[in-house]
Amino acid sequence: MRLKELLHYTYIFPVLAVGYYFSGLMGSGVIYDILAGILLIGSVLSAVHHAEMVAHKVGEPFGTIILALCITIIEVALIISLMVAGGDQAITLARDTVFAAVMLILNGILGICILVGGVKYHEQFFARTSATTYLVSTVSILILTLVLPNFTSSVNGPFYNQAQLIFVSIACLVIYGVFLMVQTVRHRSYFIVPDEHPEEHYVPSLTKTIISFIFLVICLAIVVLMAKGLSDTIESMVQSLGAPKSLVGVIIAAVVLLPEGVAAIRAARANQIQSSLNLALGSALASIGLTIPAVSVVCIIYDIPLVLGLDKKDIILLSLSVFIVMLSLSRGKTNILYGTVLLVNLAAYIFTVIVP
């Protein structure tokens, strides 16, 4: 690669962010935290760029799978590190993080994509079979992991015992594994919209693709690390506003999901709503389908109790979100009403976090 290309902001921001994070200046004052926030946003935008480079090379749906899996793996690493450090005080961390991520993806990312596409193009079309495949897998895992624990009787409370936890973890991995086989091999056509102008797309060289993939991983890792580093500052800000501490988890989840969100919205603006769906629904499925089994293994090894069941309010909000998404994607085309309703659901979720 030429020196001019390496001086592009998508390479400079991640390097500066890594250097700044390990310099130990974060948390030293308001100015330092503002600078960290700027570097974090720059790293998010850089991650989107490198994800698009990889996607152009490997094609759909592999490009969106790579981005979803990278973010999910780093999200799992963050949750596990906090749970091991927090012990019994972090027993609800996995549930709260996964629930926040799912709500932000289904209502926020998907809602903005549908609304943006609807405003610009009136209607956008996608393969209904892809949405159905995503939702069948996601709804099953959501019920098994976040709802069913409230109704089992082996252990009092929203818990699974060890045998149940192992079974549900295996069930999640089986569903996600078969879904990946369907998406990439047996029914790949479900997730691809024929390109009417293939000659207009830029395909990077193998060297540029490898470099972009490396920088993608670096960007995603530094976004999570800096979000974790800024969590105390965010928590102080939330407390100064008199809002509940649970809002901190929503803010951190939003920061971690920014790369996927920006990439999905850009795809919707380019009239590629199928790519937006692949990113949004694929991320929701990967987030819950991989996070719960990984966290379960850690909790069994370290004998940490794991609360999975949601309370009644959250179950209602989750059910509403899933139901609206299913209705919105049932016809194979979108309009601004679907996006508006999903964003109102997101506002209701965030409002009830602040005012429970």
Residue that has been written with the tokens 């090894």 in this structure: 301
Looking at the domain assignment, is residue 104 inside a domain?
A: yes
Pick the residue with more confidence: 356 or 244?
A: 356
Looking at the domain assignment, is residue 2 inside a domain?
A: no
Report which listed range, 161-165, 245-249, 278-282, 338-342, is most confident.
Answer: 338-342
Domain count, the chain: 1
Ranking 292-296, 327-331, 347-351 by mean pLDDT, the lowest is 292-296
pLDDT score at 226:
82
Alpha carbons 249 and 251: distance in angstroms, whole number = 5
Structural element, H or E, at residue 124: strand 124-125
pLDDT score at 192:
78
Looking at the domain assignment, is residue 345 inside a domain?
A: yes
The pLDDT confidence band at residue 1, using thresholds 50, 70 and 90, is low
Looking at the domain assignment, is residue 14 inside a domain?
A: yes
pLDDT score at 193:
65
Q: Looking at the predicted structure, is the pLDDT value of residue 149 above 80?
A: yes
Q: Please state, as a whole number, how many other Cβ atoms lie within 10 Å of the Cβ of residue 237.
A: 15
Mean of the pLDDT values across residues 281-294?
Answer: 88
Looking at the domain assignment, is residue 322 inside a domain?
A: yes
Looking at the domain assignment, is residue 3 inside a domain?
A: no
Looking at the domain assignment, is residue 191 inside a domain?
A: yes
Mean of the pLDDT values across residues 290-307?
Answer: 86
Looking at the domain assignment, is residue 305 inside a domain?
A: yes
Residue 162 contacts by C-beta under 8 Å, 6 or more apart in sequence?
Answer: 300
Please give the share of the chain, as a percent, with pLDDT higher than 70: 91
Q: Looking at the predicted structure, is the pLDDT value of residue 172 above 90?
A: yes
CB-neighbour burial class of residue 85 (10 A; exposed 0-12, middle 13-18, buried 19+): exposed
Mean of the pLDDT values across residues 74-88?
Answer: 70
Mean of the pLDDT values across residues 99-127?
Answer: 93
Q: What is the CATH number of the domain that holds 91?
A: 1.20.1420.30
Please give the share of the chain, as a percent, with pLDDT higher than 90: 37
Domain that holds residue 342: 8-195+204-354
